[in-house]
Amino acid sequence: MGFIQAPPELAPQFDDDRVLRRFLERQLPDDVLRDVTPSLKEMGELAAGRLYELSMRHRNDEPQLTSWDPWGNRIDELEVNAAWKEYARVAAEKGVVGTAYERKHGAYSRIHQFALMYLFAPSTQVYTCPLAMTDGAARTLETLAKPELRDRVLPHLIHRDPAQAWTSGQWMTERTGGSDVGLSETVARETPEGWRLFGTKWFTSAVTSEVTLTLARPEGNPAGGKGLALFFVQLRDQQNRLNHILVNRLKEKLGTKNLPTAELTLDGTLAEPVVGLNNGIRNMANMLNITRTWNAVVAVSSMRRGLALARDYARRRVAFGAALSEKPLHLDTLAGLAAEYEAAFQLVFEEVRLMGQAELGEISEEDQRVLYAIQPLTKL
């Protein structure tokens, strides 16, 4: 049998991550560090073991949409792969969202949560997308929603029991596209049954979620962003039927193919205003800032995963009589990548640290200004 190159392998990802461990040692008090380390070690082992294996086994298993049953009934059933369902279970049980809201360690809880997510993300086929929007929805409802809505929904968004845990969408993009969200065409109409939404949401990720936050313009409101309102939608009723929502198609994408992203028609979808009937974009600011932070942390975690695989491969691959890890030019290339990764890590996790303080009102005026400045920068 001829030569077969040994593939790279992942070590337990928390133990193998010097940058993350040193950051936590600097930022967390000793008692907090001792308390959070076991959960991070466990997540690091899952990320290098079962979760990674699932992502490899199901990497080509894309979501499937069945629009009609054999008798001609519109059903819009969406099936995701087995790995996706396991990611949902692990994320709930390990508190990938909930840790931030349990606030066991006060402002440090955000660092703990994002460290968990940073380890979880590269092995989970972009399941962090619905989790990011769930986190954003949780913070929005926690800070803005009427008590009845908040108390009914928030516990599900942060629950550790997979049978009770919900995820949330964030429906903004319409056919007008671009960053001028004020051009949204979805209309909200008040009826005897409550508010109903009519329009098309052109690009909606996490369509498997139980709930979503979305923007619509109440009839009679002025054009532009200030005329939009923020609404809460439960996707299915007690009989598990879609809430006057048609799934027109799943989008064909260049990447993130395991993530179900759909084009939806809202045809009288029942909805509840989250807070007031205007300024919807402003009221969505918490959600946008949190999802941007998730994007940034996922990007850094992906950089770290690439380096982990490249370093291990460099020790295994022999060329011209020596391993790549002994070649100065190869080491120089890896060093350059590592420098970029470590700089990005420090920027992103500084934002996470400040976010935790800001959410509990423990941030200084100067640090608050820094947070305002770096939130959009980390997304870039």
pLDDT tens across 224-271, in order? Answer: 999 999 999 999 998 999 999 999 999 998 888 999 999 999 999 999
Question: How far is the first Cα of the chain from the last one, in angstroms, to the nearest whole number?
Answer: 48
pLDDT digits (tens, 9 = 90+) for 303-341: 999 999 999 999 999 999 999 999 999 999 999 999 999
**Class of the CATH domain delimited by 285-379:** mainly alpha
How far apart are alpha carbons 362 and 68 in whole angstroms?
A: 53
Domain boundaries, the chain: 18-157, 168-280, 285-379
Residues 8/309, Cβ–Cβ less than 8 Å: yes
The two three-digit tokens of residue 278, written as one number: 């205007």
For residue 186, CA distances in Å to 148, 195, 206, 229 come to 25, 12, 19, 10
**Global pTM exceeds 0.85:** yes
- Is CATH 2.40.110.20 what the domain over 168-280 is classified as, yes or no? yes
Residues 98/343, Cβ–Cβ less than 8 Å: no
How far apart are alpha carbons 15 and 13 in whole angstroms?
A: 6
Alpha helices, H only, the chain: 18-27, 30-48, 50-57, 82-93, 99-102, 109-120, 128-144, 147-157, 280-283, 285-316, 328-359, 365-379
Note the pLDDT of residue 218.
Answer: 98
Q: How many residues does the chain have?
A: 380
Q: At what angle do helices 109-120 and 18-27 cross, to 10 degrees?
A: 170
pLDDT digits (tens, 9 = 90+) for 94-150: 999 999 999 999 999 999 999 999 999 999 999 999 999 999 999 999 999 999 999
CA torsion angle for 293, 296, 302, 306 (degrees, to 10)? -150
Task: Please enumerate in sequence order all residues whose Cβ is within 8 A of that of 251, keeping only pairs 6 or more positions apart, or say none.
Answer: 203, 261, 262, 263
Strands 194-205 and 211-218 turn out to be unpaired
Is 180 buried (19+), middle (13-18) or exposed (0-12) by CB count in 10 A? exposed
